[in-house]
Amino acid sequence: MIEKVTLKDIAKDSGLSISTVSRALTRTGKISKENERKVFESAQRLNYPIAVLNTPIDLRNSINIALVTKHYTGEFFASLFEGFDISSLGTKARINLISVSHTSDTPKQVASEITKAHFDAAVIFLPDYKAEDYKELINHIPEDYPVVSIAPIANPVMDTVTFDNYRGGHLVASHFEDKGFTRLGIIEGPKNKSEAMLRKNGYIDHIRASDRLSLVWKFTGSYSLEDGQDAYEAFKKAPVKPEAIFSSNDGMAIGFIQKAIRDGVIIPDDVAIVGYDDLPTCELYTPTISSVCTPYDLLGKKTLELIFDRLREKTTPGYTGYTSLVPVSLKIRESSTNLVNVFSKYYDKVPENL
């Protein structure tokens, strides 16, 4: 019969007192990091049953992290999930996708699901949430539970890691100016979405700061392909048409291009367009679509770093509203480059009639 390992056995093996061993295993009271490690290494060596959640982060084999969102079908969510998968490689993090209901799950229910399932931490991507929703979510989560949002809001309640949306819009306007376009337009995203407003503001601020640029046309959509198609119909009726358009996401840019091409419009000769998110379709479409690149693997990496810091400290839950910005860049492709440059990619000699 195998004798049961006791705290006394761990104390003898580690050279520490029984009270120190008890405080370490229950994570109560003060104890040095060095002694804590000694206790847990001894407990593991002696096969003492340890509650996983009480085991120090550095001694765990894996850390279970919930990625909580309202799942929609499409390339954006596939790219987001892939980015977090890539960022977890070589770490102890195990990413678990938790899709909440589109209609009924309250912040309290979301909090209950992620804590009762014994996840070590949670990443929240719920773009529809407002400050009061985050406050309710926090009220139902333990104080030392690490939780990070990756959806920006105007007045962040919990710590947030997100893309530099303002700079993304700014980069597009700068690119149009460099290409010699002067009359610009925008297909902006929903007015209640913080990231859409930041993209728009970055774009418009650069236009206003330039003596050569003017915003002559705008359309408001909700990120869908159909909104991009509607934007094209509005573009057709515009008394003053823009030479180049910034679409606040790739879906609307694709919808616009589809309708335009079927109508005989040449992209980018008649109108140039740049999207946002740099989804895989941008490389596969004809013409290939210029887009603001949002590196989801870097978003995942910075988010996981913040979570691991929280897990190690066990003191700062992350409800300060601190926001960390992930840099973006602009991938320039055929949809915003004049046709002479496009043809030169495929032909040794550009046709004379261009």
* Same domain assignment for residues 181 and 264: yes
The reply to whether 352 falls in a domain is no
Cα 220 to Cα 1, 145, 241: the distances in Å are 74, 39, 16
Report the CATH number that the domain containing residue 304 is assigned in CATH.
3.40.50.2300
213 versus 119: the higher-pLDDT residue is: 213
**Mean of all residue pLDDT scores within the chain:** 87
* Same domain assignment for residues 197 and 337: yes
* Same domain assignment for residues 207 and 336: yes
The reply to whether 272 falls in a domain is yes
The reply to whether 354 falls in a domain is no
Q: Which pLDDT score is estimated for 29? A: 73
Question: pLDDT band at 36, cuts 50/70/90?
Answer: confident
The reply to whether 1 falls in a domain is no
Residue with tokens 């728009």: 200
* Cα–Cα distance measured from residue 13 to residue 253, given in angstroms and rounded to the nearest whole number: 65
The reply to whether 2 falls in a domain is no
* pLDDT at residue 1 is higher than 50: no
Tens of pLDDT, residue by residue over 83-136, are 999 999 998 899 998 887 666 678 888 888 887 777 888 999 988 888 899 999
29 versus 350: the higher-pLDDT residue is: 29
Tally of domains within the chain: 3
* Same domain assignment for residues 266 and 313: no
Say which range, 225-229, 252-256, 306-310, has the weakest mean pLDDT. Answer: 306-310
Question: pLDDT band at 260, cuts 50/70/90?
Answer: very high
Cα 351 to Cα 269, 342, 344, 348: the distances in Å are 15, 11, 9, 10
Nearest to 106 by CA among 140, 73, 65: 140
* Same domain assignment for residues 226 and 148: no
* Same domain assignment for residues 170 and 284: yes
320 versus 343: the higher-pLDDT residue is: 320
Residue with tokens 């407990």: 43
Q: Which pLDDT score is estimated for 284? A: 92
* pLDDT at residue 354 is higher than 90: no
Report the CATH number that the domain containing residue 48 is assigned in CATH.
1.10.260
* Same domain assignment for residues 278 and 173: yes
Longest Cα pair distance anywhere in the chain, in angstroms? 92
2 versus 185: the higher-pLDDT residue is: 185
* Same domain assignment for residues 187 and 97: no
A 10 A CB-CB count for 62 gives: 11
* pLDDT at residue 343 is higher than 50: no
φ and ψ of 162, to 5 deg? -150, 170
277 versus 127: the higher-pLDDT residue is: 277
Q: Which pLDDT score is estimated for 314? A: 57
Q: Which domain holds residue 186?
A: 165-294+331-346
DSSP 241-295: --SEEEESSHHHHHHHHHHHHHTTPPTTTT-EEEEEE--THHHHSSS--EEEE--
Q: Which of 34-43, 74-83, 98-107 has the highest mean pLDDT?
A: 74-83
* Same domain assignment for residues 187 and 289: yes
Q: Which pLDDT score is estimated for 140? A: 87
What percent of the chain stands above pLDDT 70? 88
* Same domain assignment for residues 189 and 72: no
Tens of pLDDT, residue by residue over 300-322, are 999 999 998 888 775 555 567 78
The reply to whether 353 falls in a domain is no
The reply to whether 290 falls in a domain is yes
Question: pLDDT band at 345, cuts 50/70/90?
Answer: very low
* Cα–Cα distance measured from residue 140 to residue 108, given in angstroms and rounded to the nearest whole number: 6
Last residue of a domain, one of 59, 80, 95: 59
Q: Which pLDDT score is estimated for 31? A: 81
* Same domain assignment for residues 146 and 196: no
The reply to whether 233 falls in a domain is yes
**The residue count for the chain:** 354
169 versus 63: the higher-pLDDT residue is: 169
* Same domain assignment for residues 286 and 192: yes
Q: Provide the Cα torsion 128, 134, 137, 138; round to 10°.
A: 160
Long-range contacts made by residues 21-24, C-beta under 8 angstroms, separation at least 24? Answer: none
Beta-ladder partners of 93 = 63
Q: Contact 244/194 with Cβ under 8 angstroms?
A: no
